[in-house]
Structure 1
Amino acid sequence: MYAQIEIIRHLYPNISDEKYKFYLEAMIPHNYTQVAVFEGDECIGLTGLWYGIKLWSGKYMEIDNFIVHPDHRSKGIGKMLTDYVNQKAIDLGCTMIVLDAFTGNFTAHRFYYNQGYNPRGFHFIKTLNEDGLT
């Protein structure tokens, strides 16, 4: 996963190598994984995945850090990733797939609507340390 830091930097341009390694080491033991699409040796699409259980949903899968390289957008890479995630969630017996998209990211909203995702509620945050954010 660490080898794909350059595509991660399309979302988080200032993430350091050390922070990314540290986060991966903390996340992997909690069911975090990544799925990537390659063209030759170049990673052109990537998404992180988590699965867990909540009282209201049962077993669920969460998409996290969904990235398609800007030079490869509108080529079906995103759909390829969401199709894979959908099948993986079915195979794991999940009841749903969830994700967060920033409120102003209308391109992502349109994409997710087209893939069958719909908003169900609000994801509220209370920032406690602005300097700690990536």
Structure 2
Amino acid sequence: MLEQIEIIRHLYPNISDEKYKSYLEAMIPNNYTQIAIFENEICVGLTGLWYGIKLWSGKYMEIDNFIVHPEHRSKGIGKLLTDYVNQKATALDCTMIVLDAYTQNFTAHRFYYSQGYYPRGFHFIKTLNEEGLS
């Protein structure tokens, strides 16, 4: 996963190698994994995945940091990723797949709608440390 930092930087341009490594070390023991698509040994698509259980949903899978390299968009890479996530969530007997998309990211909204996702509510946040954000 550490080797994929360059595609991660399409979402988080300022993330350092050290921060990425420390986050992965904390996330992996908590059911975090990544799925990646490569073209000629270059990572052109990546998504993080978590699974867990919540009272309102039962077992769920969460898509986290869904990235398709800008030069490889509209080639079906996003669909390959979401199709694989669907298969994995079904195999794990999850009741649903969840994700967050920034409110102003209308391109992502259109894509997720086309894949069968819909908004169920609002994800509220309260930022406590702006400098700690990636």
* TM norm. shorter chain > 0.5: yes
Work out the CA distance in 1 between the residues paired with 2:90 and 2:40.
29
1:33: which partner in 2?
33
1:59: which partner in 2?
59
Q: CA deviation at 1:31?
A: 0.2
> What CA deviation, in whole Å up to 9, does each residue of 1:31-76 have, x standing for no partner?
0000000001100000000000000100000000000000000000
2:21: which partner in 1?
21
Work out the CA distance in 2 between the residues paired with 1:41 and 1:114.
29
- Normalised TM-score (structure 1): 1.00
Percent of residue pairs identical: 84
Structure 1 spans left out of the alignment, 5+ residues: none
> What CA deviation, in whole Å up to 9, does each residue of 1:70-110 have, x standing for no partner?
00000000000000000000000000000000000000000
Structure 2 spans left out of the alignment, 5+ residues: none
Work out the CA distance in 2 between the residues paired with 1:55 and 1:116.
23
- Size of the aligned set, in residue pairs, is 134
RMSD over aligned CA atoms reads 0.3
1:79: which partner in 2?
79
1:119: which partner in 2?
119
Work out the CA distance in 2 between the residues paired with 1:87 and 1:41.
24
Residue type at the aligned position of 1:88? K
2:104: which partner in 1?
104
Secondary structure of the residue aligned to 1:82 is helix
